[in-house]
Amino acid sequence: MIYSYHNVMKGFAARLTTSQVKEMETKPGFVSAQKQRILSLQTTHTPSFLGLQQSMGLWKDSNYGKGVIIGVLDTGIVPDHPSFSDVGMPPPPAKWKGVCESNFTSKCNNKLIGARSYEHGNDSPIDKNGHGTHTAGTAAGAFVKDANVFGNANGTAVGIAPLAHIAVYKVCNSDGQCSDSAILAAMDAAIDDGVAILSISLGGSTKPFHEDGIALASYSATERGIFVSAAAGNSGPSLRTVANEAPWILTVGASTHDRKLKATVKLGNKEEFEGESAYHPKTSNSTFFALYDAGKNESDQFDAPFCRPGSLTDPAIKGKIVVCLRSGSLLRVDQGQSVKDAGGVGMILINEQQDGVTKSAEAHVIPALDVSNADGKKILAYMNSTSNPVASITFRGTVIGDKNTPIVASFSSRGPNVASPGILKPDLIGPGVNVLAAWPTPVDNSKNTKSTFNVISGTSMSCPHLSGIAALLKSAHPDWSPAAIKSAMMTTTDTLNLAKNPILDERLIPADIFAIGAGHINPLRASDPGLIYDTPFDDYVPYLCGLNYTNREVGKLLQRKVNCSELKSIPEEQLNYPSFSIRLGSTPQTYTRTVTNIGDARSSYKVEVVSPKGVSVKVKPSKLNFTMLNQKLTYQVTFSKTTNSSKDGDVEGFLKWNSNRHSVRSPIAVRLSAE
């Protein structure tokens, strides 16, 4: 036996042969067995971009997340990084029951209060990957002055909840592979340990909730009042790719923030293109070098064009800037290393077409930058037009104030929700592109500092931003349930960018509801939402029965026997969720929602509706009058088609309750069908 579980389920993980599993199935009390799955991993400026300021607003109201414990499931942590210093930190609250495992005890302090390893065969929580150190620092890192990468993005690094405590659960190996048996064991322990927030920057492909380890364990955690924030996944921009899509999980997509690490490439014909890079030379050098197209050899279309390690063997590369195509299966830094090993002096990395304007600023080992596919095609066209193509790369450093932000990242996984189409996912988006946070090792090879940082991208980066914001909200409002925190976040989002236009996606067209969910997080407004959609935990049982799961499958999530035929199941769209996602044919549909007043005791809200195209949305009553705090009022919404259109397709709108001080918005996604 490898692990035994008592919170997330009553059961264990063990290495068994097929015949042993068959034998187990005959034993009394057997419920189910499933094969282990391997899941994958999915800042100095983002706090101020999110409106968090010292000694005022939400940071002041929440006392920087003081007293809240964030459990981080990831690749471990590097404990002596200054981001995890406990200067000014109070001791952990009395409810903390966790431990720093024996070989790690001296490394823990009042900031890093727990560290356990569930990596099979390695009992050290030390991070050999970097991902876990980065996510922990993003959620709750301490203030660290003079944080930078190659001098870029210089400033004071700080996590979103700098006075929150961190408990680390290492569930992934150094290659970023995370077994679901380890994830279940870590969450089982975290529930006993006393964490308030779980931050999970991991995920796999969509599965029914009763087969999804993260969904199973999160259900038990949420039942005990723990807020679970998880990455939506990095499989965008394809539709139906969103992971961690259970309604009791906050599912976080990724977007840009308004800092760029700018680099430009200038061609011999005077054309200039903008890219991004965290590389920064010690001295500015705009020398022109000859260009080399790594994909010019027609016989090799799988390795050399992508500058795979070992594929660049042409001696002509020496002293040239190499143009490489981006490959999702390679690390950008490794592509640059490949060019360096072949004698190249620089690299232009052309993104895939689907990436649009999403660019990664990475800590390259040579002068290198990321350019869009459209600009890359122009660079290749120039190279084909002359016998002596040349270019220079110039590093402009940190530029703040991009008015188009936030832009949805191309990689951010999209809805609709496959496991439960009646629940809109992702829930919202947050900063996840080119985020600077703690890193185990210096990326510029300087040996004289522990203050090491790196810039990386992914929904893995947006998730801990939201985990940190959840910690702030929990600290400011200790009585809020996980559903209340999620509702407060979702109903107060921004749907406009800094230029006051609709948020765009990587194609620079307005992002749809399956990319942004409710919109972009606004922490300040989330602390005072006016009304909340609190999902009573008991409602999940009729919801799960309504998904047409068997009694045994529902029982697996609930850890008790259930008979769905004796329960009144509800359609998934009827769950008291802060958004709507419905399939609409010729028959009108009516759903109810209940809101709880946590704003002004005496307050009146009027409904505002922007109906999806071809859909009538009628709300009764159209006015909600509250006379006291925590009062609950219910309204119903009827959706019907306005035309006999036989066209299938997705349309979107929203419903908003407005008082003189609050605005509570719920997005509406409608899939029109002919029948």
548 phi/psi in degrees, rounded to 5: 65, 30
Helix or strand (DSSP H, E) at 115: strand 112-117
Provide CB contacts within 8 A for 56, sequence distance 6+: none
Q: Is the Cβ–Cβ distance between 419 and 553 less than 8 Å?
A: no
326 phi/psi in degrees, rounded to 5: -75, 135
Which residues are 669's β-sheet partners?
Answer: 581, 652
Residue bearing tokens 């969910």: 517
Q: How many CB atoms lie within 10 A of CB 647?
A: 9
DSSP helix/strand/coil, 71: strand
Q: Which of 460, 467, 527, 666 does the annotation list as catalytic?
A: 460
Which residues are 663's β-sheet partners?
Answer: 658
Side chain identity, residue 544: L
Question: What separation in angstroms does the CA of 517 have from each of 92, 252, 345, 356?
Answer: 35, 9, 43, 20
Provide CB contacts within 8 A for 58, sequence distance 6+: 51, 52, 472, 476, 523, 524, 527
Q: Which of 48, 62, 74, 520 does the annotation list as catalytic?
A: 74
Total length of the chain: 675
Residue of 56, 70, 53 whose CA lies nearest to 111: 70
d(CA 307, CA 291): 14
Residue bearing tokens 């064991």: 185
- Does the active-site annotation cover 74? yes
Which residues are 639's β-sheet partners?
Answer: 589, 617
Provide CB contacts within 8 A for 52, sequence distance 6+: 58, 59, 160, 523
DSSP helix/strand/coil, 629: coil
Helix or strand (DSSP H, E) at 595: strand 589-597
Q: How many helices (H) and strands (E) does the chain have?
A: 14, 32
Could you tell me the sign of the dihedral formed by the alpha carbons of 175, 181, 187, 192, in that order?
Answer: negative
d(CA 672, CA 589): 12
- Does the active-site annotation cover 457? no
Q: Is the Cβ–Cβ distance between 159 and 468 less than 8 Å?
A: yes
d(CA 253, CA 654): 19
Which residues are 231's β-sheet partners?
Answer: 252
Report CA Rg, the chain: 26
d(CA 533, CA 166): 29
The greatest distance separating any two alpha carbons of the chain, rounded to the nearest whole angstrom, comes to 80
Q: Which of 81, 131, 257, 364 does the annotation list as catalytic?
A: 131
d(CA 583, CA 641): 11
- Does the active-site annotation cover 460? yes
Q: Rounded to 10 degrees, what is the CA torsion of 60, 62, 66, 68? A: -160
- Helix boundaries (H) for 477-582: 482-490, 513-516, 523-526, 540-546, 551-558
Q: How many CB atoms lie within 10 A of CB 315?
A: 7
Side chain identity, residue 400: I
Enumerate the active-site residues.
74, 131, 460
